[in-house]
């Protein structure tokens, strides 16, 4: 049995007061799944301190490709490890499209996160145009292969994948459970062709307008192991419902 994970990506939202309110609310969620939150960098330590004695894990939304040095404005993986982060999002579509992160950069970040002992949550997904052109899996395969070629399949024994179709992020459009399951199964098959055992135990989360009212249908699909939630993770009651659905 793979563990179910529900993760909240708060993106660049909230100020100190709302972040604290949200952390308190998340601390109170009683669910069987693992819960992870990804606050903005400046609030990471606050949230880690607030959730220290709870089962909730805290992750960072990004990290640098370098270990240390003259990289103004960057945050390194060793720093994240130092403050007790557990996860780091790697290759979120907003990083890819707005900040020019290529597959090669994403692979470097993935390696860096693992090197310091944190768990990368690798995001993959196609745009609407790519889906309409029938290229969904070719795109995702290329995103996966960039990491597989750099890090090797064994790296996926300590990683999480999030399938986030770009057209479903923040749009209110959700992949149907069948559409999502199809891609999740293909991702697992692709990894499984190299190492079946690793593929079987690899959590693959769905992200893209996950809400309280669609979470159950998505999470009951055989290859969907939970969700990476954006907008709805900022609403404590909705996020709790999503956690209960997993």
| Shortest Cβ 210–ligand 13P spacing (Å) | 5
Residue of the chain from 5, 63, 90, 229 that contacts ligand 13P (CB under 6 A): 229
| Residues 3-22, mask of contacts with ligand 13P (x by CB under 6 A) | ------x-------------
Q: Are 190 and 150 in contact (CB under 8 A)?
A: no
Cα–Cα distance for residue pair 204/140, rounded to 1 Å = 13
| The token pair that represents 94 in the structure block | 């907003």
Identified binder of ligand 13P from the candidate list 209, 226, 238, 239, rule CB under 6 A: 209
Using the rule CB under 6 A, which residue among 109, 230, 238, 242 binds ligand 13P?
230
What string marks each residue from 68 to 97 as x (binds ligand 13P by CB under 6 A) or -?
A: ------------------------x-----
Least distance from C-beta 205 to ligand 13P, angstroms? 9
Active site residue 164: yes
Identified binder of ligand 13P from the candidate list 91, 203, 208, 226, rule CB under 6 A: 208
Q: In Å, how far are 23, 41, 96, 117, 183 from 76, measured between CA atoms?
A: 24, 11, 18, 13, 32
| Residues 114-173, interacting with ligand 13P (CB under 6 A) | 164, 169-170
Rounded-to-integer distance, Cα 94 and Cα 78, Å: 23
- Name the residue nearer to ligand 13P (CB basis): 26 or 228: 228
Active site residue 190: no
Query: HEC profile for 21-53?
Result: HHHHHHHCCCCCCEEEEECCHHHHHHHHHHCCC
Residues 91 and 94: their CA atoms lie apart, in Å, by 8
Helix (H) or strand (E) holding 121: strand 119-124
Task: Specify the residue, 65 or 174, whose C-beta has the smaller distance to ligand 13P.
Answer: 174
> Smallest gap, in angstroms, from Cβ of residue 158 to ligand 13P?
20
Other CB atoms within 10 A of residue 188 CB: 20
Compute the least distance from the CB of residue 105 to ligand 13P, in Å.
18
- Angstrom CA distances, 225 to 59, 98, 114, 213, stand at 18, 28, 21, 17
Positive/negative CA dihedral, 13, 18, 24, 30: negative
* Binding of residue 61 to ligand 13P (CB under 6 A): no
Residue nearest to ligand 13P (CB): 230
CB of 231 to ligand 13P, least distance (A): 3
DSSP 156: G
Among the options 101, 126, 164, 184, which is catalytic? 164
**Which residues have a Cβ under 8 Å from the Cβ of 105 and sit 6 or more positions away?**
65
- State in angstroms the smallest separation of the CB of 160 from ligand 13P: 12
- Active-site annotation holder among 92, 101, 108, 184: 92
Write out the catalytic residue numbers: 92, 164
Residues that bind ligand 13P (CB under 6 A): 9, 92, 164, 169-170, 207-210, 228-232
């Amino acid at each position: 049995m793979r563990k179910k994970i529900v993760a909240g990506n708060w993106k660049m939202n909230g100020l100190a007061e709302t972040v604290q309110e949200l952390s308190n609310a998340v601390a109170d969620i009683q669910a069987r799944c693992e819960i992870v939150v990804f606050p903005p960098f400046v609030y990471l330590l606050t949230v880690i301190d607030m959730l220290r004695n709870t089962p909730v894990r805290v992750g960072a939304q990004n990290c640098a490709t370098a270990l240390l040095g003259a990289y103004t404005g960057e945050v390194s993986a060793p720093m994240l490890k130092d403050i007790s982060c557990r996860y780091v999002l790697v290759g979120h579509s907003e990083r890819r499209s707005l900040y020019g992160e290529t597959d090669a950069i994403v692979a470097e970040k993935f390696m860096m996160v693992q090197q310091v002992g944190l768990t990368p949550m690798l995001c993959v997904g196609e745009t609407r145009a790519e889906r309409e052109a029938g290229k969904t899996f070719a795109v995702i395969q290329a995103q996966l292969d960039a990491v597989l070629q750099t890090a090797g399949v064994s790296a996926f024994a300590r990683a999480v994948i999030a399938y986030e179709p770009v057209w479903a992020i923040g749009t209110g459009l959700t992949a149907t459970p069948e559409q999502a399951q199809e891609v999740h199964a293909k991702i697992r098959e692709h990894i499984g062709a190299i190492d079946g055992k690793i593929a079987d135990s690899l959590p693959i989360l769905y992200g893209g307008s996950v809400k309280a009212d669609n979470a159950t249908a998505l999470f009951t699909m055989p290859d969907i192991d939970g969700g990476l939630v954006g907008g709805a993770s900022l609403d404590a009651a909705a996020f709790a419902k999503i956690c209960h659905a997993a």
